[in-house]
Chains A and B, each alone.
Chain A
Amino acid sequence: MAEVKILTEHYHDDNYRTVDGYLAKNGYEMLKKALKMQPTEIITLVKDAGLRGRGGAGFPTGMKWSFLPNNGEERYLLCNADEGEPCTFKDRMMMERAPHQLIEGMIISAFAVQSKKSYIYIRGEYFYAADVLRKAIKEAYDKGFLGKNILGSGFSHDLDVYCGAGAYICGEETGMISSLEGLKGQPKLKPPFPAVKGYLAKPTVVNNVETLASVIYILRDGVQEYRKNGTEKSPGTKLFSVSGDVMKPGNYEVPLGYPLKDLIEKECGGLKPGRKLKAVIPGGTSAPVLTAEEAYKATMDYECLANMKSMLGSGAITIIDDTRCMVDLLGVITHFYHHESCGQCTPCREGTGWLNKIVRSIHAGNATVNDIDTLCKVADNMKGRTICALSDAAALPVLSFVPKFRSEFEYYIREGKSQVRGISYAQMHH
């Protein structure tokens, strides 16, 4: 097996980011096709293709769209471009290299759900991508792909970019909606789900960048052809952001169900010379870590990773070799979630702090073996008790790092230094 470039077919072409370059590669042809279809036909196609949300949760996109109530209320489409899950960098590449692909995918999706207004909510740090998008949106208006009566179809749509300002939690769809409404980016209780009451309490669809772009190719290739890639429950191709200890880190588009071992050894050129695989975080730092043995058996689809009690998440794969210390890495991860907790739910606000505090006390040489159990107990108590999934996202790394690499934690506590690196982290931040 090898890479299958559907979304990324023309990403090597610098001109692809301009409207003319995009049109030269049959860009906006599927928009023309879509505008001649019935909106419900498009929803059915996306449902039948089995497209699942590429942002992290893997929820079926067509089903999400069909939750919108038929009550005549104005509907909004929001593109979640608040790519913040650590080690994920695919949406950034998509927006920088192919802004019109996202725009076309959004207009088609907006037409399918009959929305007149959409926003791309992009994380604040992505200044360059936001610039590229703004230029592309202007070009799309100039060509009549956006605005009133698009290509004479009678369908009108406006699209705008909204920049966040540094908050991981705004990648959670209701947190993002709060942020766009000019509030602190705190998630809201569900139900009601955004499809029923979202942005400004109006029916709202929130989809990831890659999800929206994928809609184009379902229209282009049809359900059967689209399903030729991927598995029954995870159809299509997906972008994986591979980072860490491989020779060629980067974004790779492969069919879902692709063996992780092949991705590491073929696409990414394997590990550095003389190193051995120790662990893989397969779906962003929230995803439970896999041991090398598990990783070599894994295929990159939603169901395989769920069966391994991990998750596909955003498709961010972090490769960890045998020179790395798990006690150190868990410190980095617990610090992150503590920093990013929005503070509204007690188990998360307090729990993320305690997780980090306990790992730090291990680093400082002040912990006892009992603290390992305390760490797991705190993490266990954080699961499923909060408004959003950040609390679980903080707990899951702890509940996988510790049991799977417990001897490293015990060694550090006993000897006051890392088993792998032979040093103490007492003086180190994080």
Chain B
Amino acid sequence: MFKLSSDGEAFVQSELKRYETKESAIIPSLYRVQKENGGWVSPDCIQYLSTLMDIPASRINEVFQFYTMFNKEPVGKFHVQVCCNVACCMAGSREMIDKLCEDYGVEEGEVTSDKRFTFTRVECLGACDKAPMMQVNETYHEGLTMDSAKKILRELK
């Protein structure tokens, strides 16, 4: 059964009081849970949050399901999100993610066998002047070439 750290629980409690309505704390709390649960939110986590926040699980679940940044399935330690919207496509991002998936031997959305990587296509991340780009967890990497992207991934610790 999932449980937040005591810091995590304190965070959720403070978020519950931070906004005008306690439901506004759902998104920040889901972020926290996702972080402490290794990058995704399991059904277990929703039940846990429901009890902790005293908000029905169905209510938390509908918010969880709506937003793309909450992962519905496990992801690798490094979630590599490659923008495949207009400017990045024009700069070769589709070929880039295809090649990366091939190199790491996974389909999009799968976790590599060493649990290090998941590759996902995402929509515009607002870095179009430095296309193509990818976001690895919380960090943007812009102005990529195939080689620089590979190098960045190789060097991730």
Closest to B135 in A: A125
Across the A-B interface, the 7 shortest Cβ-Cβ residue pairs? A182-B23, A165-B67, A166-B68, A166-B69, A243-B128, A249-B129, A86-B124
- Chain B residues lying within 8 Å of A251, measured Cβ to Cβ, are 129
Closest to B55 in A: A182
Closest to A74 in B: B20
- Chain A residues lying within 8 Å of B128, measured Cβ to Cβ, are 86-89, 241, 243-244, 249, 316, 318
Query: CB distance B20 to A200 under 8 Å?
Result: yes
Closest to B124 in A: A86
Closest to A199 in B: B20
Tell me the complex Cα distance, A332–B124, Å.
11
Query: CB distance A332 to B85 under 8 Å?
Result: yes
Query: CB distance A87 to B87 under 8 Å?
Result: yes
Closest to A92 in B: B126
Q: Mark B91-124, 1 if CB is under 8 A from A, else 0.
A: 0001000000000000000000000000001011
| Residue among A87, A249, A281 making CB contact with B124, cutoff 8 Å | A87
Tell me the complex Cα distance, A316–B129, Å.
11
Tell me the complex Cα distance, A84–B90, Å.
18
Tell me the complex Cα distance, A125–B69, Å.
8
Contact A87 to B18, CB < 8 A, known contacts A92-B126, A124-B67, A124-B69 = no
Contact A168 to B123, CB < 8 A, known contacts A182-B24, A241-B129, A285-B86 = yes
Nearest CB on A from B49, distance (A)? 12
Contact A86 to B123, CB < 8 A, known contacts A182-B23, A183-B23, A249-B128 = yes
| Residue among B70, B125, B129 making CB contact with A242, cutoff 8 Å | B129
24 A-B pairs, CB-CB below 8 angstroms?
A85-B124, A86-B87, A86-B123, A86-B128, A87-B128, A92-B127, A124-B69, A125-B69, A162-B19, A163-B31, A166-B67, A167-B66, A180-B24, A182-B22, A182-B23, A200-B20, A242-B129, A244-B90, A249-B129, A250-B129, A251-B129, A318-B86, A339-B123, A428-B94
Nearest CB on B from A248, distance (A)? 9
B12 interface hit (Cβ, 8 Å): no
Which of the four size classes fits the interface of chain B? 35 or more
A185 interface hit (Cβ, 8 Å): yes
Tell me the complex Cα distance, A195–B138, Å.
34
Which of A123-167 touch B at CB < 8 Å? 123-128, 160, 162-167
A41 interface hit (Cβ, 8 Å): no
Closest to A321 in B: B90
Query: CB distance B85 to A336 under 8 Å?
Result: yes
Which of the four size classes fits the interface of chain A? 35 or more
Query: CB distance A87 to B85 under 8 Å?
Result: yes
Tell me the complex Cα distance, A320–B89, Å.
12
- Chain A residues lying within 8 Å of B24, measured Cβ to Cβ, are 162, 180-182
Query: CB distance A183 to B63 under 8 Å?
Result: yes
| Residue among A164, A244, A428 making CB contact with B27, cutoff 8 Å | A164
Nearest CB on B from A9, distance (A)? 20
- Chain B residues lying within 8 Å of A328, measured Cβ to Cβ, are 89
Tell me the complex Cα distance, A199–B131, Å.
36
B6 interface hit (Cβ, 8 Å): no
Tell me the complex Cα distance, A251–B138, Å.
23
| Residue among B30, B85, B129 making CB contact with A86, cutoff 8 Å | B85
Residue from B24, B69, B126, B129 with most neighbouring chain A CB atoms (10 Å)? B126
